């Protein structure tokens, strides 16, 4: 397994094409816009070598019997699923940000189970390819970006009926060596500091959309791949230090638009090619695995928000007020509630026909739907307690200015025994973690709230509940 430094050094050896603010980024490891995201992902490598986290961040490969990073592992038990959630919360507590390896982790697990099912029905050999690919990831400890979301264009039209056929990734050529794909993947978390991309379809597909039923793996720096780094709230603050709030690890995951200009993929890295009948299955499995994560990672992030909120309350001299304590209790309650759902859907996991374990889909979707509400409430309460300072604090340059700095120091002080700079830093951390990009990701990451509602209705077994009520009411079942 790679060390933190080996991961960082490996990125320098890539020829990844990345643009931001209209300019090419030559070194994602050192550029201010991307460096925090590299640091956050590096934490997953660092903790793999920490004895305190060894049982969570590493495990034994069922394919090779070797010790591997859990981020390259195929779940073999409900205990694996539970440890995943605990691992995510632990890492989030140390980064306060997205560390970007979860999407690829969920992608390999979803594809592992789905390729087995495709082979059983169609007589293909995708599953053996997938096993080889997982072994490759385990041996290299490469970071893989799970690429599912397409730009989609007109959401009311299927992929093949779009005015521009490239708005969903599609196969434009097949030959004896492999396939050529064209299109783009949007909102790609951590792609600019990954090693590989795992392409997957983004929706269930009809028979006429065979060219869009493609799953495959390719290097992030493959010829024809261009990454356009997305803006984040207050991202120009990354050129400062204190004003960032979380200078080391940034906010969310450094998303990008990944353009695929006729990219060649060899057959050994192709895991679906035209099997439209399994596109929906793959999407649902991936979505449930990814929604499982949120009580873990957002639970860990919320731990920091709660801590920062309690800290600013103390700095403001109001920590003992009863209404402040009640609000912090509510924040704690909401945090543990979202964590509970992730633990519950994991503990109720069951094996698929491939042997890989899958989460309880109903509980996974309930957990993610809770996130879309509860994180907003946690952040609202933190804003309530922190006060208007959160929105109006002058820059760190003003604090450090020789002429106006003393005024900023004097008038932004809270309790007498708390340095103004410490109050500054806590406020900036809260601003960073509770506004803008971070909140949007809580809403739409792993699918919008409506996607979870659809799955909850599908998995909720409403007819059974109606039957239970009719029986207790003394209503005979209709023949």
The residues annotated with a catalytic role in the active site are 98, 102, 189, 255, 290, 294, 297, 441
Element (H, E) at 441: helix 437-444
- CA 175 vs CA 27, 172, 265: distances in Å: 35, 10, 10
Q: Residue with structure tokens 């591997």?
A: 68
Stated length of the chain: 479
- Distance from C-alpha of 16 to C-alpha of 24, rounded to nearest angstrom: 10
The separation between the first and the last C-alpha atoms of the chain, rounded to the nearest angstrom, is: 61
Max Cα separation, the chain? 87
Q: Which two tokens stand for residue 67?
A: 């010790």
Q: Which two tokens stand for residue 74?
A: 């195929």
Distance of CA 265 to the CA centre of its chain: 25
Distance of CA 432 to the CA centre of its chain: 18
- CA 116 vs CA 73, 174, 198: distances in Å: 16, 23, 17
- Distance from C-alpha of 182 to C-alpha of 328, rounded to nearest angstrom: 49
User: What DSSP line would sit under 273-340, residue for residue?
Assistant: ES-GGGHHHHHHHHHHHHHHHHHHHHHHHHHHHHHHHHHHHHHTT-TT-HHHHHHHHHHHHHHHHHHH
- Distance from C-alpha of 424 to C-alpha of 390, rounded to nearest angstrom: 9
Q: Are 59 and 80 in contact (CB under 8 A)?
A: yes
Q: Which of 43, 14, 49 is nearest to 28 (CA)?
A: 14
Q: Which of 148, 160, 116, 143 is nearest to 271 (CA)?
A: 116
Q: Which two tokens stand for residue 321?
A: 């007020």
């Amino acid at each position: 397994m790679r060390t933190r430094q080996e991961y960082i050094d490996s990125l320098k050896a890539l020829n990844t094409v990345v643009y931001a603010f209209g300019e090419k980024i030559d070194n994602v490891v050192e550029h201010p816009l991307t460096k925090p995201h590299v640091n956050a992902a590096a934490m997953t490598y660092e903790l793999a070598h920490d004895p305190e986290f060894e049982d969570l961040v590493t495990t034994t490969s069922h394919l090779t019997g070797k010790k591997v990073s859990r981020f390259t592992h195929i779940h073999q038990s409900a205990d694996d699923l539970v440890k995943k959630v605990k691992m995510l919360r632990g890492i989030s507590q140390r980064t306060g940000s997205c560390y970007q390896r979860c999407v690829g982790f969920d992608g390999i697990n979803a594809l592992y189970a789905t390729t087995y099912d495709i082979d059983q029905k169609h007589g293909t050999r995708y599953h053996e390819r997938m096993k080889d690919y997982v072994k490759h990831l385990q041996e290299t400890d490469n970071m893989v970006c799970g690429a599912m979301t397409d730009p989609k264009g007109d959401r009311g039209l299927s992929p093949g009926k779009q005015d521009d056929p490239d708005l969903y990734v599609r196969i434009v050529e097949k030959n004896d060596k492999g396939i050529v794909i064209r299109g783009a993947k949007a909102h790609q978390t951590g792609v600019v500091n990954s090693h590989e991309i795992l392409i997957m379809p983004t929706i269930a597909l009809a028979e006429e959309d065979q060219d869009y039923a493609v799953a495959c793996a390719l290097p992030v720096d493959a010829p024809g791949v261009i990454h356009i780094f997305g803006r984040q709230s207050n991202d120009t603050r990354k050129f400062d230090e204190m004003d960032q709030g979380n200078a080391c690890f940034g906010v969310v995951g450094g998303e990008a638009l990944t353009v695929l200009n006729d990219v060649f993929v060899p057959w050994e890295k192709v895991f679906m090619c035209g099997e439209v009948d399994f596109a929906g299955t793959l999407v649902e499995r991936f979505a449930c695995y990814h929604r499982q994560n949120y009580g873990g990672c957002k639970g860990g992030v919320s731990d920091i928000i709660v801590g920062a909120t309690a800290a600013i309350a103390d700095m403001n001299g109001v920590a003992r007020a009863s209404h402040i304590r009640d609000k912090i209790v509510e924040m704690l309650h909401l945090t543990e509630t979202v964590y509970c759902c992730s633990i519950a859907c994991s503990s109720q996991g069951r094996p698929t026909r491939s042997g890989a374990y899958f989460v309880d889909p109903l509980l996974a979707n309930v957990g993610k739907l809770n996130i879309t509400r509860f994180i907003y409430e946690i952040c609202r309460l933190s804003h309530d307690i922190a006060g208007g300072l959160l929105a109006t604090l002058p820059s760190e340059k003003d604090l450090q200015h020789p002429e106006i700095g003393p005024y900023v120091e004097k008038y932004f002080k809270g309790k007498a025994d708390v340095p103004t700079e410490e109050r500054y830093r806590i406020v900036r951390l809260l601003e960073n973690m509770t506004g803008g990009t971070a909140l949007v990701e809580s809403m739409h990451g792993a699918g919008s709230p409506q996607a979870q509602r659809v799955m909850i209705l599908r998995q909720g077994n409403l007819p059974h509940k109606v039957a239970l009520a009719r029986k207790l009411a003394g209503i005979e079942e209709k023949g």
